[in-house]
Amino acid sequence: MFAHKVIVLLALALCSTTIVHGTETNGTNTFTEFAFGIISNKLQTLQKQLSEMEFTMKQTNQKQTTLLARLDQINIDHERMRKEMQQLASKKDLDLFMINSGINLRSVSFPSCKKNPSKRSGKYIMQPAETDEPFLGYCEQTAYGVWIRCDGSVDFYRNWTEYRNGFGSMDGEFWLGLEHLHRMTSAAKHELLVELKDFDGSYMYASYAEFAIGSEEDQYPLTKLGSYTGTANDSFYTIS
């Protein structure tokens, strides 16, 4: 009788143990599934955010590519126009160029060589003030560059009209013209640099801190001349 009781109690104990373990296992599985669900939702949210960011970046890259292509085309067009303008030699050429191309010269002109963004030496359309008519000029962006009087091939004994309007060729000896100098020096402050170089290579210069030319009405007088520095003689020393 006692042995039967022990067996019954042992069987009950085993059943109780099995029930407890089963409860713990079910609780662990439920927690794992809940945690997995949270992580899965977060991963889906992150994936959605990454997809949106990727789409935005693609759109931005496409816009940048389009803008760069436009900029390249603008640079190509500007370079083409610059080369065409370098071939011009007179106001007649400017008028013909404007008629044939249909381009408004005011839209491609510069108030001064300093305002030329290309920083390249060459022929450019100049317009010192908005009310001025554009004219062709040469911008020398480096020292020891082009010489406007070098070999005597152009006769500088000219009449008033020629000295007012300019003469010669920018590809050789050239005079810009008193009227153009007056307009340029009236529109902004200018310095004067005179460079001299002989056939032996000896170099001298004279620099003046300020320079301006008056109007034709006053017969284009030298109205401003700043302080002198340089290695050449000061030929303007008598001018107060």
CATH code (residue 195): 3.90.215.10
Residue 235 is assigned to a structural domain of this protein: no
233 three-state secondary structure: coil
Q: Are residues 127 and 35 in the same domain?
A: no
Tell which of 86, 117, 142 closes a domain.
86
Residue 46 is assigned to a structural domain of this protein: yes
Residue 236 is assigned to a structural domain of this protein: no
pLDDT recorded at residue 205: 92
Q: Are residues 122 and 203 in the same domain?
A: yes
Place of tokens 């713990």: 24
Q: Are residues 119 and 221 in the same domain?
A: yes
Report how far Cα 17 is from the mean position of its chain's Cα atoms: 83
The torsion angles phi and psi of 176, rounded to 5 degrees, stand at: -65, -35
First to last CA, the chain: 144
pLDDT recorded at residue 226: 93
* Structural domains in the chain (count): 2
Q: Are residues 214 and 145 in the same domain?
A: yes
Other beta carbons within 10 angstroms of residue 184's beta carbon come to: 24
pLDDT recorded at residue 91: 56
pLDDT recorded at residue 72: 84
Q: Are residues 157 and 221 in the same domain?
A: yes
Task: Report the C-alpha gap between 26 and 34 in whole angstroms.
Answer: 12
Q: Are the C-beta atoms of 111 and 124 separated by less than 8 Å?
A: no
Residue 28 is assigned to a structural domain of this protein: yes
Residue 100 is assigned to a structural domain of this protein: no
Residue 130 is assigned to a structural domain of this protein: yes
27 lies in which domain range?
A: 1-86
Q: Are residues 117 and 150 in the same domain?
A: yes
Task: Report the C-alpha gap between 23 and 93 in whole angstroms.
Answer: 101
Q: What stretches of 132-221 adopt beta strand conformation (E)?
A: 135-139, 167-168, 174-175, 190-197, 203-213
Q: Are residues 74 and 115 in the same domain?
A: no
Which region, left, alpha or beta, applies to residue 17 given φ > 0 means left and ψ of -120 to 50 means alpha?
alpha
Residue 239 is assigned to a structural domain of this protein: no
Q: Are residues 11 and 119 in the same domain?
A: no
Q: Are residues 215 and 116 in the same domain?
A: yes
Q: Are residues 51 and 114 in the same domain?
A: no
Q: What stretches of the chain adopt beta strand conformation (E)?
A: 122-126, 135-139, 167-168, 174-175, 190-197, 203-213, 222-225, 228-230
Task: Of 135, 133, 130, give the one whose Cα is nearest residue 91.
Answer: 135
Tell which of 86, 121, 148 closes a domain.
86
pLDDT by position in tens, the chain (length 240): 444 444 444 444 444 444 444 455 555 667 677 667 778 778 888 888 888 888 888 888 888 888 888 888 887 887 777 666 555 545 555 656 555 655 555 557 788 888 877 777 877 788 888 888 888 888 877 765 555 556 677 888 899 999 998 888 777 788 889 999 999 999 989 999 888 888 888 989 999 999 999 999 999 999 999 999 999 989 887 775
Element (H, E) at 126: strand 122-126
Q: Are residues 32 and 131 in the same domain?
A: no
Q: Are residues 141 and 173 in the same domain?
A: yes
pLDDT recorded at residue 96: 60
Residue 65 is assigned to a structural domain of this protein: yes
17 three-state secondary structure: helix
Tell which of 45, 71, 86 closes a domain.
86
Task: Of 128, 142, 238, give the one whose Cα is nearest residue 190.
Answer: 128
